[in-house]
Amino acid sequence: MRPTTATAGETTENKTNGSRIMPASRQRSLAGRYSIVTQALALAAFGWAFFGWVNESYLYWFENPIWLNRYTEYAMILAFGVWRISAEENPYTKKRLATLVAIVTVLWWLIPWLIPFYEPYAGHMISQPVFPSLHTPGTLTFFLTLGLVFLFGRRVICGWGCPCVGIRESVGFPFRSRTITGPTAWKWRHVKWIFFALYVAAAYAIFRWAPNSWTSTFLGLFTLLVVIPYFATFFLSPITGNRFYCRYLCPYGATFGLLNKVGFFRIDFNKETCTDCDLCEKVCDMGIPVVTIGKAEGRVDTTECMGCGRCVTECPSRSLAFHDIRNMAFPALRQDGRMLKESSGLASPLFLRHAAIFAFMMLTVGLMAGWFFTSVGSPAELSNNLVGLVCGH
């Protein structure tokens, strides 16, 4: 399922106008154009994932519905993820996608399926186990994520760990070339603060009041407001590009974006070496005007950057570099394209270290989930205990 490529088109155009010749290796993160068959397959997979959430039935495995249930989305991410990982030519993106698919498969699919854990509010509201859902206020994992985002940026979740980016960067990949860009699209990014305000109100209701009929109604409406656009934007991808939900509608992305702004993460921009090739803007699925912001501020420090690293790794003059908490400890550290790509080889010491840390985290989360489930009591008792703990009842 190779793209018929905008990449090739871009190269020709650059060659014919004689202004700048981009080697193919520089073009690998540009969005390709895919065949109608590939796009139809992607839309069918989106549809399958969606119906899995609305209709829990079809095929069973030891009494668990497996092919048409909410885990169907994660199966689609795994299937299309394998395609994307094998086809990806940027080593850093390949590493990111491999980690993303592994996190979704283990944390969002296997653990909740094998060790069901009901969380206060969300778990009972949808009558399904949700641990260790990162999309639910009140979970330890959520607060742990907030801390990690503060230290390393929104990329911790929006680039490397969220099922939403998982399905949009795997199943939704053929629609990257449709990403809406330009000044107007950039201005519309503020819409997400409406969803953020509702989210803050929902979180306040959870901490302020024990579950009752009106909090359940309010939280139910809030959930619908999040969930309907989540799925609707699957099917809008051929018009809007694959990251429309993350750019404009996700309240959690807005939360993580705020921490992007006040935390240690940013992209350093070197005005002296930038050659104005615009490649960084062309590869950005979040439609961020990287060059304009970089030239004005000497850095790209926005709430929108999900830290995919495409701009950094593809910058031909190494004018861009990630900056996070590690730069406080190691001021000489420069996380530019060369460093990110060199650390992504399967045999590199850094990659092996990251893989070991990842395996340790997965094991810890799995053991924690097992311990919670077996030693704290039934899911319902645990929910009541947690609500009592948080609300003081």
Between 103 and 284, name the residue whose CB sits nearer to ligand SF4.
284
Residue 114 is which amino acid?
L
Between 72 and 90, name the residue whose CB sits nearer to ligand SF4.
90
**Number of chain residues interacting with ligand SF4 (CB under 6 A):** 36
Confirm or reject binding of residue 136 to ligand SF4 (CB under 6 A). Answer: no
**Looking only at residues 317 through 356 of this chain, which bind ligand SF4 when binding is defined by CB under 6 A?**
317, 319-320
Confirm or reject binding of residue 274 to ligand SF4 (CB under 6 A). Answer: yes
Confirm or reject binding of residue 107 to ligand SF4 (CB under 6 A). Answer: no
Only segment of 2-10, 49-57, 270-278, 351-359 that touches ligand SF4 (CB under 6 A): 270-278
Between 102 and 320, name the residue whose CB sits nearer to ligand SF4.
320
Q: To the nearest whole angstrom, how small is the minimum distance from the Cβ of residue 240 to ligand SF4?
A: 14
Between 31 and 280, name the residue whose CB sits nearer to ligand SF4.
280
Confirm or reject binding of residue 35 to ligand SF4 (CB under 6 A). Answer: no
Confirm or reject binding of residue 250 to ligand SF4 (CB under 6 A). Answer: yes
Q: Shortest CA distance to 250 belongs to which of 209, 222, 278?
A: 222
Spatial CB neighbours of 87, under 8 Å, sequence gap ≥ 6: 1, 2
Q: Shortest CA distance to 88 belongs to which of 214, 175, 3?
A: 3
Considering only 206, 246, 321, 340, the residue that binds ligand SF4 (CB under 6 A) is 246
Q: To the nearest whole angstrom, how small is the minimum distance from the Cβ of residue 135 to ligand SF4?
A: 7
Distance CA 14, CA 204 (A): 53
Confirm or reject binding of residue 164 to ligand SF4 (CB under 6 A). Answer: yes
Question: Under DSSP, is residue 205 helix (H, G, I), strand (E, B) or coil?
Answer: helix
Residue of minimal CB distance from ligand SF4? 253
Helix ranges (DSSP H) in 191-289: 192-208, 213-240, 244-248, 251-262, 279-282
Q: To the nearest whole angstrom, how small is the minimum distance from the Cβ of residue 103 to ligand SF4?
A: 12
Q: To the nearest whole angstrom, how small is the minimum distance from the Cβ of residue 357 to ligand SF4?
A: 21
Only segment of 41-49, 209-217, 277-285, 384-392 that touches ligand SF4 (CB under 6 A): 277-285
DSSP output for 324-380: -THHHH-TT--EEHHHHHHTTSTT-HHHHHHHHHHHHHHHHHHHHHHHHHHHS--HH
Measured in degrees and rounded to the nearest 5, phi and psi for residue 66 equal: -115, -30
Between 205 and 250, name the residue whose CB sits nearer to ligand SF4.
250
Confirm or reject binding of residue 156 to ligand SF4 (CB under 6 A). Answer: no
Residue 211 is which amino acid?
P
Dihedral sign for Cα atoms in the order 216, 217, 223, 224: positive
Between 45 and 280, name the residue whose CB sits nearer to ligand SF4.
280
Tokens (6 digits) for 347: 């045999």
Between 142 and 373, name the residue whose CB sits nearer to ligand SF4.
142
Considering only 284, 339, 340, 369, the residue that binds ligand SF4 (CB under 6 A) is 284
How big is the chain by its Cα radius of gyration, in Å? 21
Spatial CB neighbours of 173, under 8 Å, sequence gap ≥ 6: 42, 80, 84, 242
Distance CA 254, CA 10 (A): 33
Between 119 and 268, name the residue whose CB sits nearer to ligand SF4.
268
Spatial CB neighbours of 372, under 8 Å, sequence gap ≥ 6: 117, 131, 382
**Looking only at residues 287 through 316 of this chain, which bind ligand SF4 when binding is defined by CB under 6 A?**
288, 290-291, 300, 305-311, 315-316
Distance CA 163, CA 144 (A): 17
Only segment of 37-45, 143-151, 212-220, 282-290 that touches ligand SF4 (CB under 6 A): 282-290
Tokens (6 digits) for 272: 């002296």
Q: To the nearest whole angstrom, how small is the minimum distance from the Cβ of residue 136 to ligand SF4?
A: 12
Q: To the nearest whole angstrom, how small is the minimum distance from the Cβ of residue 255 to ligand SF4?
A: 8
Confirm or reject binding of residue 278 to ligand SF4 (CB under 6 A). Answer: yes
Measured in degrees and rounded to the nearest 5, phi and psi for residue 71 equal: -75, -10
| Contacts with ligand SF4, residue ranges (CB under 6 A) | 157-158, 162, 164-165, 245-246, 250, 252-253, 274-280, 283-284, 286, 288, 290-291, 300, 305-311, 315-317, 319-320
